[in-house]
Structure 1
Amino acid sequence: MPNKIYNFIDLFCGAGGFAKGFEMSGKFKCIGGIDNKKAAVETHKLNFKDSISVQSDIRKLEPKQFHKLIGKQEVDVIIGGPPCPTFSTIGHAKIQSVNKDKGDCITEDPRNLLFMDYLKYVKYFNPKMFVMENVPQFLTKYKGETFKEVKKIIERDLPEYTIVEEVKVLNSVNYGVPQNRRRMILVGHLKGYNFKYPKITHWYKGSNFNINPNSDDIDVNTLKPHVNVKSAISDLPSITDNWRINECEYSQHKNLDSYQKLMRENTNSTVSNNICRMSNERAKKVFAHMKQGDIYMDLPKEVRQILPFREDIFKDRLKRLVLKNPSWTILAHIGMDGYMYIHPTELRTLSVREAARIQSFPDDFIFVGNQQETYMQVGNAVPPIMAKAIASSVYDCLEKNNVNVLSKTLV
């Protein structure tokens, strides 16, 4: 009997990094996505053939309407991350009032409604599980008071669900992504289910951002070494600053490592999204003085004067990547200038495809939009390979519950 494929919808879907990871697991199918950015929705639509990808403000699209758009299909899982600003401006006084009424601080800031709308979709569709991602600060804001109140809201509005008690911050580098990227992952499920976070598989020796393996009884010596920037980008097309040719041939076809083979699994000799922004001449003069790992303030003062910035604020305004290390976090700001992501050996910043590789998007995933839009889609995404690990844990949870239900029925 073939394994069941579970349907999921993707809220605040962006380009679809989270969804791509779920589909890469081979156990889930994306049947719908919602986002308010046109280019991101076009990207989502192109890459998820079974999805009805809708450009809309989720606050204006009722779950019932969306359900009709997706053909009234059953939804087993909901994934998504209400944008990071949610709750970022709630002060202590407001936090204390969260649980009083619906007319509380949640509705005072329109951004906070996005969190409430996520919960509204969960309530309407009644999925078996939901997975929410956000910045790690979500857990620690105001000494954890914000998160405590969020849990209270979920318990109040969704009493049939249990929130996994130990909400975790996962780092993508520990799952085979060539990037240190930490995200909070909150999982909710119907009562009676038992979810366990995915065990880590990779280790970046000496990193301050490793997950503590002791919590999973893991011997560090049994883990794979981290995937580095060299693995991520060295086989990609040879390009220059201000490259405008979208589809190009790979620079390397032999002696590919396991990460490169995985990324190229569904492509032939060429790959898309190789466009690269143009750096100004002053910036390139500064790049020439930077070694791998250098930041702006490592440079002599006379070099910094070529491209001056407020040095009390922009100490790492420029950063050159290191081939042997994973990248630091790819942020949406890469859509603005990319100076925090200078190529390890060339006088340019990263191309869209190079940034996508560092995020672990497979090469057959195509980004739609102008240069800034495609960079931002990459920077805003959940790394698919980390999402795949989460998806496998979600699947295990669903399947174990099915076995338990069947056992009780037979008894």
Structure 2
Amino acid sequence: MQNKIYNFIDLFCGAGGFAKGFEMSGKFKCIGGIDNKKSAVETHKLNFKNSVSVHADIREFSPEKLHELIGQQKVDVIIGGPPCPTFSTIGHAKIQSVNKEKGDCITEDPRNILFMDYLEYVKYFKPKMFVMENVPQFLTKYKGATYKEVKRIIKRDLPEYHIVEEVKLLNSVNYGVPQNRRRMILVGHLKDYTFNYPKITHWFEGSNYNIDPNDENVDSTKLKPHVNVKSAISDLPKITDNWRINECEYSKHENLDTYQKLMRQNTNGLVANNICRMSNERAKKVFGHMKQGDIYMDLPKEIRQILPFREDIFKDRLKRLVLKNPSWTILAHIGMDGYMYIHPTELRTLSVREAARIQSFPDNFVFVGNQQETYMQVGNAVPPIMAKAIAESVYSGLTNLNR
């Protein structure tokens, strides 16, 4: 019997890294997405042919409208990462105080209506399961008060859902992504279903964030070795600083490793988004003095003076990637200058495609927008390969395979 394909919608979808991972599992179909960034929605629309990708502010776009646009289709799963600005700005005392009129302190800040709107979509569509991702600080901010308050609101507003109690931080490097990147994953499901977090498959000895300390012991000798930066980018087109040709041929066609073969599936020998920013001459002169793994403060003072920064703040303003290691986290700031992602062997920063490879976007995933927009779409995304592992656990829970 053919496996059932479940429909999902993608809230705060961005370019669609989270959604791409779900579709890569072969068990889910994205039928709708919504985001307030136009270029990101254009990217989402291009890469998800079955999706109605909506450019709108979710605060002004009701779930009823989205339901109408997707042809009243059943939504089995909702995914997304609602931004929660207050989590990083309010004080500990305020998060603990409950507003008597509204019943919670989260809604005191109107920006957090984004979080509440996510829940409104869950309340309306009644999916079998919802998956919410966020930064690790979501769990620890103000000694956990923020997380406890959010969980209380979910239980109050969505009593029919079971919230997986031991919310975990997953590190993408442990799922075959060539990058150390941690995300909080919160899952809620109707009582008839289950969810277990995906087991890790890869190990990087040098990571401080391989597993949650509370997890059962893991025998790292039985796991696959981490995927490194060399695997991620060494077969991509040979380019230069300030490269302007979008679509290019690969530089390597033989002896591809497992990761490179995976990334190049369903391509025609060409790959897009090879755009690379131009670094100024002072920066490139400094790059030439950096070894792999060096940061700004590793350089002699006379070299730092070529491109001076405030050294009490910007100690790692410049960082050179290491071929044999996974990358550190690709952030949206890569859209600004890229100095934290200096190519391991060349006098330039990463191209959009190289950053996308480190994020585990397949090469047939094409980004739409100007240079800064495409870099930021990559940096804001959930790594698709890690999302695929989450999707497979969701599928197991929906089909009762975990019982």
> Which TM class, normalised by the smaller chain length?
over 0.9
Q: Which residues in structure 2 correspond to 1:173-188 (within 5 Å)?
A: 173-188=173-188
1:297-348 per-residue CA deviation (whole Å, 9 max, x = no partner) reads 0000000000000000000000000000000000000000000000000000
User: In 2, distance between residues paired with 1:214 and 1:91?
Assistant: 28
User: In 1, distance between residues paired with 2:336 and 2:105?
Assistant: 33
Give the conservation status (yes or no) of the 8 Å contact 1:36–1:57.
yes
Where does residue 373 of structure 1 map in the other structure? 373
Q: 1:95 offset after TM fit, Å?
A: 1.6
Where does residue 89 of structure 2 map in the other structure? 89
Q: Structure 1: which amino acid aligns with 2:397?
A: C
Q: 1:98 offset after TM fit, Å?
A: 3.7
Q: Which residues in structure 2 correspond to 1:57-206 (within 5 Å)?
A: 57-98=57-98, 100-102=100-102, 104-206=104-206
Q: Structure 1: which amino acid aligns with 2:366?
A: I
Where does residue 33 of structure 2 map in the other structure? 33
User: In 2, distance between residues paired with 1:96 and 1:276?
Assistant: 46
User: In 2, distance between residues paired with 1:214 and 1:116?
Assistant: 30
Q: Percent identity, aligned pairs only?
A: 85
User: In 2, distance between residues paired with 1:101 and 1:228?
Assistant: 52
TM-score calculated relative to the size of structure 2: 0.98
User: In 2, distance between residues paired with 1:196 and 1:125?
Assistant: 23
User: In 1, distance between residues paired with 2:388 and 2:216?
Assistant: 19
1:264-314 per-residue CA deviation (whole Å, 9 max, x = no partner) reads 011121100000000000000000000000000000000000000000000
Give the conservation status (yes or no) of the 8 Å contact 2:196–2:393.
yes
Q: Which residues in structure 2 correspond to 1:7-406 (within 5 Å)?
A: 7-98=7-98, 100-102=100-102, 104-212=104-212, 215-216=215-216, 218-400=218-400
> Mind listing any 5+ residue stretches in structure 1 that lack a counterpart?
405-411
Q: Structure 1: which amino acid aligns with 2:79?
A: I
Q: CA distance change for structure 1 residues 311 and 136 in 2, over 3 Å: closer, same or farther?
A: same
TM-score calculated relative to the size of structure 1: 0.96
Give the conservation status (yes or no) of the 8 Å contact 1:179–1:358.
yes
Q: CA distance change for structure 1 residues 207 and 242 in 2, over 3 Å: closer, same or farther?
A: same
Q: CA distance change for structure 1 residues 172 and 339 in 2, over 3 Å: closer, same or farther?
A: same
RMSD of aligned C-alpha atoms? 1.4
Where does residue 409 of structure 1 map in the other structure? none
1:222-250 per-residue CA deviation (whole Å, 9 max, x = no partner) reads 10000000000000000000000000000
User: In 2, distance between residues paired with 1:107 and 1:130?
Assistant: 21
Count residues with an aligned counterpart.
403
User: In 2, distance between residues paired with 1:105 and 1:58?
Assistant: 21
Q: 1:183 offset after TM fit, Å?
A: 0.2
> Which one is further off, 266-275 or 332-341?
266-275
Q: SS of 2:9's equivalent?
A: strand
Give the conservation status (yes or no) of the 8 Å contact 1:21–1:391.
yes
